[in-house]
Amino acid sequence: MLASSFRHQQGLFVCLDHEKTLAILNKHADIVASDFTRGTKKFEKLFSKFIKAFELSNYDVSHLDRKEAKVAVAYEAFVTCLETEVKKSRPQSKPKSKPATKPKSKPPTKPHSKPPTKPHSKPPTKPNSKPPSKHK
């Protein structure tokens, strides 16, 4: 297990030194991460085929130079699809948000010094008031 793991890691280090492989991995990452481009389903399928073939070759970059090797065929198919399977797109516009405002708070209530008046009560009268006289 350790030996196969080491070979896997060795192959990965070789691949990270190989210009063609690095370029295609970076190109895929750029397209996927961009807000202005998107790859079609075929784009993703061909990239996946290339990665699987590359893994099956134990990350042997020399296979990329042999035109009949599965990894070379998958590589070429993916590179070719970059012209037709990458679409330009507009970034998704985010809805404009209103500036954050504080919720309106009610002013603090003060205790009432007078009891509330009844709605149908008569207005208070002055003490010792005389009724109006009828004499002129």
The string of pLDDT tens digits covering residues 48-81 is 999 999 999 888 888 778 888 899 999 999 999 9
Check if the beta carbon of residue 39 is closer than 8 Å to that of residue 85.
yes
CA distance 72 to 67: 6
Separation in Å, CA 49 to CA 29, 54, 61: 16, 8, 16
For 57, the domain range is: 2-88
Nearest Cα neighbor of 45 from 83, 78, 84 is: 78
Across the range 89-113, mean pLDDT stands at 64
> Does 116 map to a domain?
no
> Does 71 map to a domain?
yes
Total structural domains within the chain: 1
> Does 136 map to a domain?
no
> Does 47 map to a domain?
yes
Tell me what pLDDT residue 8 has. 47
pTM of full prediction above 0.85: no
